[in-house]
Structure 1
Amino acid sequence: MYDETRKIPGPFASGMLYLIVLLLMLLSSFYTARIDIEGDRYFYYLFILQLITIGLPVIGYLLIRKKDIKHSLRLNKVKLAEVLLSAGMAFFGYGVIIFINLLWMIFLSRFGEPQPVPIPPIENGRYYLMAIASMALAPAVLEEFMFRGVIQRGYEGYGRAVSIILTGIMFAFLHLSVVTIPAIILMGILLCYIAYRADSVWASIAYHFTNNMIAITIAYVSSLISNMLPGDFQGMSASLADIPPDQLRMAVIAWAFIGFFALILFGACFAGFHIVTREKQKDMPVRFEAEKGSLLQLIIPLALAAVIIAAVLVFEVIHMINPVPVL
C-alpha cells in the first residue's frame, strides 16, 4: 500500500534542508568575495554554484531518503493556459513590486543608505543570454524545486495556509537582503499558492522565470543606455539621498499610477488562473501527526536558520546606517 507520509518530505527534513542550503550559500558568498571573476566565467561560475548549493542538497536528499521525486517536487502536468497566466501575473505584478520596493527603499533611506541587490553589468547580447540562463532560468527551476517542492510539501501536514505562508516567508529571507524582504515575501507566498492551485511546480517556475527575466532585461537595457550617454553621466550615484525631493515625489506618484493599473491587470490574470485551475484544487489531508518532541524537531532547524539570517540582516542594517567598514 502506498504510504504517502513516507514517500514525501516531512517538516523536520524541510527545515534541515533550508538550514543546509543557507549555510552553503553563506560559505559560497565568502569564497566568491575573495576571488575575481568577470565575463563569461562569472555566469558559468554562478550556474555551477547554484547547482551545488541548491540543486545538489535537494536531489541528494530525495535520492538518499528514497522519496517520491515526482510527487515531492510536484512534477505534474500543467496546462498552457496556466503557464501563460502565471507569466502574465509576473509581468504585470512586476510593476507592483517596483512600487513596493520604492516605498520600502524610501523608508529605509530615513535610517541610512540602502543598497539595491547588485546585478553584474550585462554589456552585450551574449552576456544577456548567459544571464537569462544563469540568473533567470537556473534559480527559477532550482528554487522552485526546493521551496514549492520539498519545503512546501514538508509543511502541508499543518494545513494549506500554514505551508503556503511559512514557505513564502522562508523563501524571502533566504535571499538575505533587507531591501527586498516585503516584495519577496508577497511574491513567495504567491508562488506557493500558484504551485498549490495548479498542483504543478511548472506553473510557479513560469512566474519565477518571467520575474527574473524582466529584472535582467531591465538591467541589460539600462546598461545599453548608460553606454550611449556621455562620460560625465556614466557611473552616477543611484542613491535616493541624491534625488531632489520633488523628483522623488514625482517618481512615487508615477509608479503609484503604473502600479495601480498593473495591479488591475495582475488581478485579471489571477482571476483567470483561478478559473482554469478550479478542477485541480484539492484539500490536502493532514499527514503529519505531532508527537512528543516533534514540535521541537520542527523548531530547531528553523530557529538556527533564523538566528543566522537575523545576524546577516543586522550586519547589513549596520552597514546601511554606517557605511564605514567595521574592520
Structure 2
Amino acid sequence: MPYPYGKPLKRYPTEEERAWLWEDGNFVGGAMILLVSLLSFLFSIVATALYTGGVLTGEDLLSETLGLSNTRFLLLYGAVYTASLGLPTLLPLLLFRKKLPRFRGRPSADITVNALFIGIGACYLANMIAGVFSGILEQYGFYLPDAPDYLEPTPQSLAVNLLVMALLPAVLEELLFRVTLLGTLRRYGDGTAVLLSALLFGAMHGYAAQSLFAFLVGLVLGYITVTTGNVYIAMAIHFANNALSILISYAQLHLSDMLGGLLAALCVNGLLLAGLVLLIVAAVRRSPLLRMPRRGTLRAGTLAGGLAGTPLTVLAIVLLFLRAVYLNFCT
C-alpha cells in the first residue's frame, strides 16, 4: 500500500484512506501492546530465569537490586529496558512493512541551537508544572513513589547512570515515539501526530504526575522533530534533560546541602531563562522553528474513530488503563 507522506487526507476519507486508518490504528495499538507487556513482565521473567538457572537465590529476588551491586543492577536493567523499547520499535515495522520518514533534516545552526535551549527549558518548565500537579494529587492521597537512587560518588557509577538513565531512554524512546509512532501518524497532519504520540508517551509512564510531565515533554519533542525535520535534536534534548539531573545529583554528593541546592537552582533557572530568551528571539525573527509545517484535513471524529476503533488499539487502551490503575492505586 502506498504511503504518501505529505499528501493531505480529504475531509471525507476514501476507501483507501479508511484502509490507512485501519492499518495505522492496528500498527500503533500493536506497538503499544508489546511495549506495555514488556515493561510490565520482561524484567520479572529475566529475574525468574536467573533464579531458575542458579544465578540468583531466593533472598536475592527479595532485594531491590537482586543482590547485585548498583552498577551491575543498572547494567542488567539497561539490557532489559533496551529490549522492552527496541522490540516494539522494530517488530511492528517488520510485520506491517512500514516505510517511515527518517527525520534526518539539516536545520541551520541557529535553528538547532534555539531548538536545543528552548526544548531543554520547556522540559524544566514541564517538570515544574508536573510538580505542582503532584502536590495537588498528594492532597488527595496519591503519592508519587520516590525514584530509586543507584548513583554512587564514583566516576564508574556516574558513567553507568548516564548510559542507562540518560542515553538509552533518549535514543530508544525517541526512536519509538518520535520516529515510529509519530512518523506513522504524520500523514494525518503534524499537529495530530505530535498530539497523539505525546499522549501515548505520557500513557507509557503510568503514574499520573509522570504521565503529565511526559505528555508535555512529548509535545515539545514532537513539535521540534517535525519543525526541524531532525530527530537527533529531540534525542539531544531528551538526553540533556536526563543527564543534567544525574550530573547535579552527582555533584551534590560531593557538595554541602547549601551549595548543592544553589547549583541546582542556578542550572534550572539559567536554562529556563535561556530558553525563554531564545524563544522570544525566534518569535521576533519569525523563525521556521515556530511554524507547524503540515495540517491534516480529516475530521477529528473520523480520525479518532478510525484509529481508536481497531482491535489492537482498543486492547492497547485497556492495557494502558489497567496499568495506570495498578500503578496509581495499588502500589
> Is 1:110 paired with 2:139?
yes
**Counterpart residue number, 1:14:** 28
The match for 1:234 is none
Say if 1:158 and 1:75 are closer, same or farther in 2 by CA, change over 3 A. Answer: same
Query: Is the 2:103–2:231 Cα contact (8 Å) retained in structure 1?
Result: yes
Give the structure 2 partner of residue 171 of structure 1: 201
Q: Percent identity?
A: 18
For structure 1, list consecutive stretches of 5 or more residues without a partner in the other structure: 230-250, 321-327
Asked if 1:156 is matched to 2:186, the reply is yes
Which residue of 1 is the match for residue 130 of structure 2?
Answer: 101
Deviation at 1:269, TM superposition (A): 3.0
Tell me if the contact between 2:25 and 2:309 (Cα under 8 Å) persists in the aligned partners.
yes
Distance 1:131 1:303, change over 3 A: same
Quick one: distance in 2 between partners of 1:316 and 1:179? Answer: 11
Partner of 1:242: none
Whole-Å Cα distance in 2 between the matches of residues 45 and 119 of structure 1? 15
Q: In structure 2, which of residues 78, 81, 88 is the aligned counterpart of residue 47 of structure 1?
A: 78
CA distance, structure 2, for counterparts of residue 269 and residue 17 of structure 1: 36
- 8 Å CA contact 1:100, 1:183 repeated in 2: yes
Per-residue Cα deviation, 1:174-202 (whole angstroms, up to 9, x for no partner)? 01222312222111111110101011111
* More off after superposition, 214-223 vs 277-286: 277-286
- Correspondence for 1:121: 151
| TM-superposition CA deviations, 1:257-276 (whole Å, max 9, x none) | x9888655423334556755
Summarize the Cα distance change of 1:273–1:44 in structure 2 as closer, same or farther, 3 Å threshold.
farther
Q: Distance in 2 between matches of 1:313 and 1:60?
A: 24
Match of 2:244 in 1: 214
- How far apart are residue 296 of structure 1 and its match? 6.5
Asked if residue 268 in structure 1 is aligned to residue 277 in structure 2, the reply is yes
**Residue in 2 that maps onto 1:86:** 115
> Given residue 77 of structure 1, which amino acid in structure 2 is its aligned partner?
R
Post-superposition shift, 1:299? Answer: 4.1
Superposition map of 1:105-254 within 5 A: 105-112=134-141, 113-225=143-255
Query: Contact 1:86–1:273 (CA<8 Å) still a contact in 2?
Result: no
For residues 210-243 of structure 1, the C-alpha deviation after alignment (integer angstroms, 9 at most, x for no partner) is 1111222233234444xx78xxxxxxxxxxxxxx
The correspondence for 2:320, drawn from 292, 300, 309, is 309
Contact persistence 1:12–1:298 (CA under 8 A)? no
The DSSP-based 3-state class of the residue aligned with 1:111 is: coil
State which drifts further: 273-282 or 90-99: 273-282
Amino acid of the residue matched to residue 269 of structure 1? L
Structure 2 CA distance, aligned partners of 1:96 and 1:201? 21
TM-score by length of 2: 0.72
Partner of 1:325: none
Asked if 1 retains the 8 angstrom alpha-carbon contact of 2:178 and 2:225, the reply is yes
- Secondary structure at the aligned position of 2:209 is classed as coil
One-letter identity of the residue aligned with 2:324: L
Pair 287,108 (structure 1): closer, same or farther in 2 beyond 3 Å: closer
Report the Cα distance in structure 2 between the residues aligned to 1:80 and 1:37, rounded to whole angstroms. 45
Q: Structure 1 101/224 Cα, relative in aligned 2: closer, same or farther at 3 Å?
A: farther
Q: Which shifted more, 176-185 or 115-124?
A: 115-124
Partner of 2:27, secondary structure, is helix
Aligned counterparts of 2:98 and 2:209: Cα–Cα separation in 1: 36
What residue in structure 2 maps to residue 241 of structure 1? none
Worse-matched range after superposition: 19-28 or 154-163: 154-163
Instruction: Tell me the TM-score normalized by structure 1.
Output: 0.73
The alignment's C-alpha RMSD in Å is 3.9
Read off the aligned partner of 2:122 and give its amino acid letter: G
Matched pairs, number: 291
Number of the residue aligned with 2:90: 59
Q: What runs of 5+ residues in structure 2 fail to find an aligned partner? A: 6-18, 48-60
CA gap of 1:174–1:278, structure 2 versus 1, over 3 A, is closer
Query: What amino acid does structure 2 have at the position aligned with 1:111?
Result: Y
